[in-house]
Amino acid sequence: MHQSAHDHMARLVARYLDPEVHHRVVDIGSRSSGKQTTTHRDLFAGRPCTFIGVDIAEGRNVDRVMTKPYRLPVRSGSVDVVISGQAFEHIPFPWASMLEIARVLKPDGLVLLTAPSRGHVHTAVDCWRYYPDGMKALAAFAGLTVLEVSTDFPPTAGKRRHDYKAIDTTYRYWGDTVAVFQKPADYPRRLALVRRVVVSWGNRAGPVGEKPTIQQWAARLPRRAARSLGDRLRA
Taking only the tens place, the pLDDT of each residue in 128-180 is 999 999 999 999 999 999 999 999 999 887 777 888 888 999 899 999 999 99
Residue 170 belongs to some domain of the structure: yes
**193-213 pLDDT tens trace:** 999 999 999 998 877 766 555
Residue 199 belongs to some domain of the structure: no
Among 20-24, 76-80, 222-226, which stretch is predicted with the lowest mean pLDDT? 222-226
Strand pairing report for 23-28 and 105-116: unpaired
Bridge partners of 159, per DSSP, are none
Residue 212 belongs to some domain of the structure: no
Residue 99 belongs to some domain of the structure: yes
**What ranges in the chain are assigned the alpha helix state H?**
3-16, 94-104, 132-142, 191-204, 214-219, 223-234
What is the reported pLDDT for 235? Answer: 47
Is residue 216 pLDDT above 70, yes or no?
no
pLDDT confidence of 233, banded at 50, 70, 90?
very low
Residue 213 belongs to some domain of the structure: no
Say what the pTM is: 0.87
What is the reported pLDDT for 229? Answer: 43
Is residue 225 pLDDT above 70, yes or no?
no
- Is residue 70 within 8 A of residue 93, CB to CB? The reply is yes
Is residue 217 pLDDT above 70, yes or no?
no
Whole-number Å distance between alpha carbons of 221 and 89: 27
Q: What is the 3-state secondary structure (H, E, C) of 153-201?
A: CCCCECCECCCHHHCCCCCCCCCEEEEEEECCCCCCCCHHHHHHHHHHH
What residues make up the domain containing 33? 3-188
Residue 223 belongs to some domain of the structure: no
Any idea what the Cα angle at residue 98 is, between residues 197 and 82, rounded to 5°?
A: 135
Integer CA distances (angstroms), 211 to 125, 177, 226, in order: 16, 31, 18
Residue 193 belongs to some domain of the structure: no
Total tally of structural domains belonging to the chain: 1
Residue 217 belongs to some domain of the structure: no
| Strands of the sheet with 176-182, listed across from one edge | 64-65, 49-55, 23-28, 79-85, 105-116, 176-182, 145-151
Residue 139 is classified by DSSP as: H
CATH number, domain containing residue 98: 3.40.50.150
**19-76 pLDDT tens trace:** 999 999 999 999 987 777 889 999 999 999 999 999 998 999 999 999 999 999 999 9
